[in-house]
Amino acid sequence: MRGVDGKTALVSGAASGIGRAAAKRFAEESASVVAVDIDEEGGEETVSQIESDGGEVTFVETDVTDRDDVAAAVETAVDTYGGLDVAFNNAGIEGEQVGFGDQSDDNWERVVDINLTGVFYAMREEIPAMLESDGGGAIINTASIAGILGFPNLSPYVASKHGVVGLTRSAAVEFAAEDIRVNAVLPGVIDTPMVQRSGEADPESTERTIAAIPAQRLGEPEEIASTVVWLGSEDASYVTGQPITVDGGYSVQ
């Protein structure tokens, strides 16, 4: 793969699941990684796994809804590794699964703050850092198939992920001429702690979900990570503004 060797990649939500898989994959491809998460214990475990494989990584405990925290994470990338080339804005939560009329203000605000406003804060810091480099940069935002489809009992989540797709497209148009590419990855149902929590609450839900996926299985975090690293590489140099679904065929039915 061309284009990530020697680059610096910032990955949020790096303490588990897709974020951890992506951080590890960037390191395996010889990028220096800034692993960002509010979960210090999980983040340090990601660091340990990367370092045990000989990778270069720094962890920054970060609340993506805190503008100062986000700025500090980007500053760490620049100060530690000399710049920022790739950013994977992945931190997110599903929130409460309840009907539209029962959604609380607190749940709405928390989900939107983390999933959408957090991405905005990150991009607002990342893009100026990338503009300081003659090489431009690549940003990948985690949306979801919920960014192009509707799902019951998840209205704040669905709205936030639709917002991520819109934000991605707008930034892609605005910064394409300056060689900053902005894309979104839209995972389907992936075997992560988020999905596992849902399965524990309703054990039959996993079986129903798998039955609805043409590929007849859950996705693996590593499969999303592969797409993310490709989007961050020079192999995807003419790809921008795109919502890339990785869902085993679910969204094309």
Catalytic residues: 157
Q: What share of the chain is helix, strand, coil (3-state, %, to 5)?
A: 55, 15, 30
Alpha helices in 82-220 (DSSP H): 105-112, 118-131, 155-175, 193-201, 203-212
Number of alpha helices (DSSP H) and beta strands (DSSP E) in the chain: 9, 7
Rounded Cα distance between 241 and 88, Å, is 14
